[in-house]
Amino acid sequence: MGYGINETGQFVPEDWWQIVFNPSFPYRLVHMVLAAYLATALVVGGVGALHLLRDRADAVAGRMFSMAMWMLIVVAPLQIVAGDFHGLNTLEHQPAKVMAMEGHYDSHPDGAPLILFGIPNAHEKRIDYAVQIPKLSSLILKHDLNAPLAGLDTIPDADEPPVTIVFYSFRVMIALGFAMLGLGGWALWCRWRGRMLAGRWLHRATIVMGPMGFVAVLAGWITTEVGRQPFTVYGLLRTSDSLAPVAAPAMAASLTAFVLVYFFIFGAGTFYLLRMMNMPPATRHLGLKDAPNRTARAGKPPAKAIPGE
């Protein structure tokens, strides 16, 4: 959709709207927006948890933590469901990517197992030490335990994505998705028992999970981009044929400039943000001498509204 092949066999974009709003667009949009919510909630929750560990009566930190934990318990299950739908769409449009994600070197005519863990062996084209659940992959991807699933043995070697990277990055993303759900569930349980703002281990775990939204986003992105190799446009345009006619020194110079500029901008930004996160929540900056309500309980807003809220 939205492209043509010219007389010399080259891929030529024709309608950018069709290319942008391609069949995977809605799935990617939903999955990415939910990923952004989760990553943000984890940072907010992690900062709240840090300040609760220092002072469990800090009402502003308590509110940050509470809101973040609500976000996790609502959005993490949605993300898992959205991810599942996304995978079905990928199976339809980029089957080799799913074969690599699943670690299916071989085809399974009578139902494919779900490989939970294992070590991809690219030379022998198999997954070593695989821990797997029989037929579950067919159930997830085809909604039928015995549905046949094609493996990488059905595609030419030259069209095979780098399985090892995709296999691991996919598992990192999934594991973190379930860890987010677990954290949200743990917080809900503590909230129900009235101990959410006092749970030291819950707070420590949330600090550890603080950056994990970014890690999951990067793992998802790697799965997507490495999984479609060796193509820039799946099945149509090889990455090796997508090179722009720009000389290597020019590329090297612009890459170096990017690396340097980004290093300084992100370095300064990260330093500034970490310093801000380390400061107690901004009751003073908001014009209050002390926390508005130091006895605020889990999930309940402080008695006095904070200016600006």
Say how far apart CA 71 and CA 180 lie, in whole Å.
10
- Residues at the site binding ligand HEM, with contacts judged by CB under 6 A: 28, 31-32, 35, 38-39, 79-80, 83-84, 86-87, 90, 94, 97, 173-174, 176-178, 180, 213, 216-217, 220-221, 223-224, 227
- In the complex, least distance from residue 235 CB atom to ligand HEM, rounded to whole angstroms: 13
Say how far apart CA 108 and CA 110 lie, in whole Å.
6
User: Toward ligand HEM, which CB reaches closer, 178 or 271?
Assistant: 178
Q: Which residues contact 184 (CB under 8 A, 6 or more apart)?
A: 69, 72, 73, 74, 76
User: Toward ligand HEM, which CB reaches closer, 57 or 175?
Assistant: 175
- Helix (H) or strand (E) segment spanning residue 233: strand 231-233
Count of positions (residues) in the chain: 309
- In the complex, least distance from residue 191 CB atom to ligand HEM, rounded to whole angstroms: 22
The total of other beta-carbon atoms located within 10 Å of residue 103's CB is: 29
User: Toward ligand HEM, which CB reaches closer, 51 or 97?
Assistant: 97
The total of other beta-carbon atoms located within 10 Å of residue 133's CB is: 11
- In the complex, least distance from residue 25 CB atom to ligand HEM, rounded to whole angstroms: 9
- In the complex, least distance from residue 250 CB atom to ligand HEM, rounded to whole angstroms: 28
Residue 299, classified by CB atoms within 10 Å of its CB into exposed (0-12), middle (13-18) or buried (19+), is: middle
Q: Which residues contact 170 (CB under 8 A, 6 or more apart)?
A: 101, 219, 223, 227
User: Toward ligand HEM, which CB reaches closer, 53 or 165?
Assistant: 165
User: Toward ligand HEM, which CB reaches closer, 220 or 292?
Assistant: 220
- In the complex, least distance from residue 139 CB atom to ligand HEM, rounded to whole angstroms: 14
User: Toward ligand HEM, which CB reaches closer, 89 or 107?
Assistant: 89
- In the complex, least distance from residue 144 CB atom to ligand HEM, rounded to whole angstroms: 19
